[in-house]
Amino acid sequence: MNAASLRRLRGLLRKEFLQILRDPSSLAVAFVLPTVLLLIFGDGVSLDARNVPLALVVERPDTLTASFTSQFEHSPFFRPRRFFSIQAAERAMAAREVEGIIWLPSDFTRRAASSGNSPIGVIVNGADANNARIIEGYLQQAWANWLVAQARADGRPSPLPLAAQPQVRFNPAVRSRNYLVPGLIAVIMTLTGALLTALVIAREWERGTMEALMVTRATMREILIAKLIPYFLLGMGGMAASVAIAVFLFDVPLRGSLAVLTGASALFMLAALGMGLLISSFARNQFVAGQIAIITTFLPAFILSGFVFDINSMPGAVQIITHVVAARYFVAILQSVFLAGNVWSVILPNAAALAVMAAIFLGAARIVTRKRLD
């Protein structure tokens, strides 16, 4: 790059910065969009079941059944409602008024006192399978606690032969927001990266100023670099705002270092901008560009990145596909940097993958974007 080229680049950069400052729409996409989305989604996206409406059917109430059902009364997890027959409870479940039913049959206390192993009927609405499993887990915990408490009250040894001690590392309170908010940042930044670049190139074409740029001595490479630098900075600004919201508003711990976070974000931002550039110069018409943008950015970042759905549990073929989704690597880094700290064995391979993707997308965008008139 010689002196003339540098001078041209400086001129182009000045133009881009002035354009950004005078037209607030790109500032809006870079800052307002991510913060508003994160505020709404950060509050809205949660897998922690709370206040689950639960039907209690106690056919013959006594002190033993009361000791079992009372633990649901003040639990943050359940909102119990009494029903007088199992049929009525089933009807309420069919009408989606309750998510689960606990049924203590009339011979519950008699069987508990004589033979033991007295069955407690539990029926959950399995339509939302994940929620159903979480509810089952809560109920299992409640049951074990009740058994131990009853035995202690009677002065008997613990009725359970095993004492399971689950220990959830990095997130002992098992707060789903702690892992969903870092993932959301990746999803939102994918979106802003793609949208920003869509604005970048398409606006020049639309206003016809691309042709004006083409007849100057500036090369396509200089034009692209001048486009990338300011929007890269804008994207990083949006990223910083998102991290601040996550830490200060949503109380997600940030255990790793800011330097690592910044480095990883820079690599991801380059990949996202490169992908956006590639899309906007690839597709002939906007309908196709729009479809491709949604298909290749938002939906994969949402579903294939490990943001909500665990990549380990996907079938092998799908796991291979996830390797071309840039958000996948960024989500892995974000979840580790936020919750676990600077875990180099996670950060280095994923950062390398991001660097490779950024190089490929930017290189391809450079090749595809030509000075052309059509």
* Span 150-179, contacts to other proteins by CB under 8 A: 150, 157-172, 174-176, 178-179
CB of 168 to other proteins, least distance (A): 4
Residue 249 binds to other proteins (criterion: CB under 8 A):
no
Residue 59 binds to other proteins (criterion: CB under 8 A):
no
Residues 317-356 touching other proteins, rule: CB under 8 A, are 317-318, 321-322, 332, 335-336, 339-340, 343, 345-346
Residue 314 binds to other proteins (criterion: CB under 8 A):
yes
C-alpha span between 126 and 223 (Å, rounded): 55
Query: What is the identity of the amino acid at 208?
Result: G
Residue 92 binds to other proteins (criterion: CB under 8 A):
no
Nearest CA to 246 out of 162, 179, 298 is that of 179
What does residue 344 show for φ and ψ, rounded to 5 degrees?
Answer: -65, -30
Cβ nearer to other proteins, comparing 218 with 280:
280
Burial zone of 365 (CB within 10 Å; 0-12 exposed, 13-18 middle, 19+ buried): buried
C-alpha span between 197 and 279 (Å, rounded): 9
Residues 13-42 touching other proteins, rule: CB under 8 A, are 33, 37, 40-41
What does residue 229 show for φ and ψ, rounded to 5 degrees?
Answer: -55, -55
Which residues touch 351 (CB under 8 Å, ≥6 apart)?
263, 264, 267, 329, 333
Cβ nearer to other proteins, comparing 97 with 221:
97
CB of 317 to other proteins, least distance (A): 8
Residues 189-208 touching other proteins, rule: CB under 8 A, are 191, 195, 198-199, 202-203, 206
Number of residues that bind other proteins (CB under 8 A): 114
Helix (H) or strand (E) holding 82: strand 78-83
Cβ nearer to other proteins, comparing 61 with 126:
126
Query: What is the identity of the amino acid at 121?
Result: G
Interface with other proteins (CB under 8 A), residue from 290, 323, 363, 368: 290
Interface with other proteins (CB under 8 A), residue from 87, 130, 219, 257: 130
What does residue 101 show for φ and ψ, rounded to 5 degrees?
Answer: -130, 135
CB of 313 to other proteins, least distance (A): 4
Residue 181 binds to other proteins (criterion: CB under 8 A):
no
Interface with other proteins (CB under 8 A), residue from 7, 10, 87, 126: 126
CB of 41 to other proteins, least distance (A): 5
C-alpha span between 303 and 301 (Å, rounded): 6
128 CB neighbour count, 10 Å cutoff: 13
The residue behind tokens 């869509």 is: 198
